Structure 1
Amino acid sequence: MKLTLRQLDIFRAIAQLGSTTKASAALALSQSATSAALHELEGALGIRLFDRVGKRLVLNDNGRTLLPKAIRLLEAALDIERGFQTEACARLRVGCSTTIGNYIMPLLMQHMAERAGGTQIDVILGNSTEIARQAAQLSIDVGLVEGPSHQPTLAVQPWCEDELIIVAAADDPLAHKGRLSLSDLQDARWLVREEGSGTAEEVQRWLFPHLGAWRNARQIGSSEAIKRMVSAGVGISCLSYWVVGDLIAEGSLVSLNHVIPEHKRQLHAVYHRDKFISRSLETFFSVTKDFASANDR
């Protein structure tokens, strides 16, 4: 066999980091050894895997085809090694859109600790678009996102439902107006998530058919910031119940009564179609499924 796991590991590092210099540092190798391994791999396959763009190495079509296959082989080899070691060696990289990462992932990690206490979990936060991109690049094991993913290389699994609600400060005039009309909501001051956010995409899909595009809206890059601003009377918003449930319980926020039918959205787990499903990742999927069953709203 011409190929070696070492060559594939170096190829993966270069692909993910963009240069032999960064890959060398990450792998604790000399740059000459890293470059030589890439040259050996390209020679064994008889193809070029990167385009040289200035000082950067950018995957070409050949490289993009090889990358998921190489990562799958490397992860399978790592799983074999760990099969003869303790579970303390298991590690997962889980990407989360911000709402899930801030409000649901801490609970999932608690359940994961009870089920597989030796598994180490690194949590990467970003909006849904960014997390889907990282899953497609195989830089994370799995992503938990609020909106549907449109990346063709990703497997998408629904795993939990979440309710979106329109909220205002307890002393906001709209909170005491009774059942709000479409006109009331159209004229309100809205605080909304930024473009690329799964929450923003889903809110628009739900509300725009009834209200049209925003007349008076400010974009805020954090659901936590939005709910604090709403409770301070800056405006109203539409957010996940997971985000606002605590302030509703303490009485500083209220769920508005309005004419628009209620809406639940589907949360999704996304991962590359060629992703190797390790035992720790199987356990994580089981934890998410059990969590969804226990918290069905």
Structure 2
Amino acid sequence: MPMSLRQLRIFVSVARTGSTMGAASDISLSQSAVSAALNELEGLLNTRLFDRVGKRLILNDNGRALLAEATALLDNAQQIERGFFDKHGHAAATLKLGCSTTIGNYVLPGLLARYRLQSPHTPIEVTIANTGQIGAAVAAFEVDMGLIEGACQEADIQVIPWLLDEMVIVCSARHPLASERHTRRITREQLRESRWLMRERGSGSRQAVEQALLPYLHQLNMDIELGSSEAIKHAAAEGLWLACLSRSVVRDLVASGQLSILDTDLPPLTRRFYLIHHKKKYLSENLNAFLAHCRSYPSVYPA
């Protein structure tokens, strides 16, 4: 008997829930039907896929190897099940994107506005989280592709260098260093002695700041971690801290005079944005079109 998509769906559900009972509830089958299908699959493969620990089913090495293959296959099958076109003849499959925070808030709106002009009917869903979370979502096939601003630590991910972004060091217009920026450059020693606001660990912005500054400052006097660049720029505008953020993030508060960009003796600070998708991801017509659109989008900061 050949392996079936039904068996693979049940296997994936058991892997995610940790039990046949959980899988039965997840996919609306009886527990006996789930157990039978799992036994059939293990019989076909002539191997155990789970370690039985009490009532829990825990993936073993064979199960982990199958999970990635099964998830990719089911993802591709789902594209077929949803149908290629709606009743009007337009592509019906939803394009699921994952964006890290800065890209999602400051780059994606313009990117989507331009894309909608050329593809007015493609349904799009967007998840915004930090780079680590988006990388994990791409690895788990929860989103079709990711747009991230830091290194991706997940295996089997295709990473495509994308836009170049400029980072700037800012402080409140009331900060002591702001008054010096018109007379001389801020030194590295002054930067080391200052208190800094930083994004949380796992954030692409946090990685970018550390990679840009630590080679020159060797250490950062981090005072507070905040979960968004918006929170950081508004906290910096209150007067006590320095922050290193994308120029696109701080443009509004710099224009209003609440933040000042410091002229330092550091070299220009830039970082690369990336497009990512799973290496085993089926690149549909919609997804290929969106990838091409992203590649044609102008850099946030000219290279």
Q: Could you tell me whether the CA contact under 8 Å between 1:16 and 1:139 is conserved in 2?
A: no
Which residue is equivalent to 1:256?
Answer: 262
Structure 1 CA distance, aligned partners of 2:19 and 2:110?
37
Alpha-carbon deviation of 1:262? 0.8
- Gaps in structure 2 of 5+ consecutive residues: none
Whether 1:132 and 2:135 are equivalent positions in the alignment is yes
**Structure 1 residues 169-178 or 44-53, which shifts more?**
44-53
Structure 1 CA distance, aligned partners of 2:106 and 2:295?
17
Which residue is equivalent to 1:207?
Answer: 213
Q: Could you tell me whether the CA contact under 8 Å between 2:164 and 2:299 is conserved in 1?
A: no
Which residue is equivalent to 2:71?
Answer: 71
SS in 2 for 1:104: helix
Structure 1 CA distance, aligned partners of 2:188 and 2:156?
40
Alpha-carbon deviation of 1:260? 0.3
Which residue is equivalent to 2:28?
Answer: 28
AA aligned to 1:123 is V
Structure 2 CA distance, aligned partners of 1:285 and 1:217?
39
AA aligned to 2:44 is A
SS in 2 for 1:164: strand
**Structure 1 residues 111-120 or 234-243, which shifts more?**
111-120
Alpha-carbon deviation of 1:41? 1.8
Alpha-carbon deviation of 1:145? 1.7
SS in 2 for 1:13: helix
Q: Could you tell me whether the CA contact under 8 Å between 1:187 and 1:216 is conserved in 2?
A: no
Q: Could you tell me whether the CA contact under 8 Å between 2:85 and 2:92 is conserved in 1?
A: no
**Structure 1 residues 188-197 or 132-141, which shifts more?**
132-141
Which residue is equivalent to 2:253?
Answer: 247
SS in 2 for 1:266: strand
**Structure 1 residues 108-117 or 130-139, which shifts more?**
108-117
Alpha-carbon deviation of 1:225? 0.7
Aligned residues: 296
Which residue is equivalent to 1:83?
Answer: 84
For 1:197-232, what per-residue CA distance to the aligned partner results, in whole angstroms no more than 9, with x for missing partners? 111112111111211212353222221111110111
AA aligned to 1:83 is F
Structure 1 CA distance, aligned partners of 2:139 and 2:64?
11
Structure 1 CA distance, aligned partners of 2:63 and 2:121?
34
Which residue is equivalent to 1:7?
Answer: 7
Question: Sequence identity of aligned pairs in percent?
Answer: 43
Whether 1:142 and 2:148 are equivalent positions in the alignment is no
AA aligned to 2:117 is E
**Structure 1 residues 100-109 or 188-197, which shifts more?**
100-109
For 1:230-285, what per-residue CA distance to the aligned partner results, in whole angstroms no more than 9, with x for missing partners? 11113110011222122223322221111101121111122222122122221221
Structure 2 CA distance, aligned partners of 1:246 and 1:60?
52
**Distance of aligned partners of 1:144 and 1:58 in 2 relative to their CA distance in 1, 3 Å threshold:** farther
- Over the residues paired in the alignment, what is the CA RMSD in angstroms? 2.4
Show the 5 A alignment for 1:27-176.
Answer: 27-53=27-53, 55-81=55-81, 82-83=83-84, 85=86, 86-87=89-90, 89-176=92-179
SS in 1 for 2:263: coil
SS in 2 for 1:160: strand
Q: Could you tell me whether the CA contact under 8 Å between 2:84 and 2:92 is conserved in 1?
A: no
Q: Could you tell me whether the CA contact under 8 Å between 1:127 and 1:196 is conserved in 2?
A: yes
Structure 1 CA distance, aligned partners of 2:77 and 2:190?
60
Alpha-carbon deviation of 1:144? 1.9
AA aligned to 2:67 is L
Alpha-carbon deviation of 1:8? 1.8
**Distance of aligned partners of 1:83 and 1:272 in 2 relative to their CA distance in 1, 3 Å threshold:** same
Alpha-carbon deviation of 1:107? 3.0
Which residue is equivalent to 2:199?
Answer: 193
Normalising by structure 2, report the TM-score: 0.87
Structure 2 CA distance, aligned partners of 1:241 and 1:227?
11
- Gaps in structure 1 of 5+ consecutive residues: none
Alpha-carbon deviation of 1:166? 0.5
Structure number, greater radius of gyration: 2
Alpha-carbon deviation of 1:129? 1.9
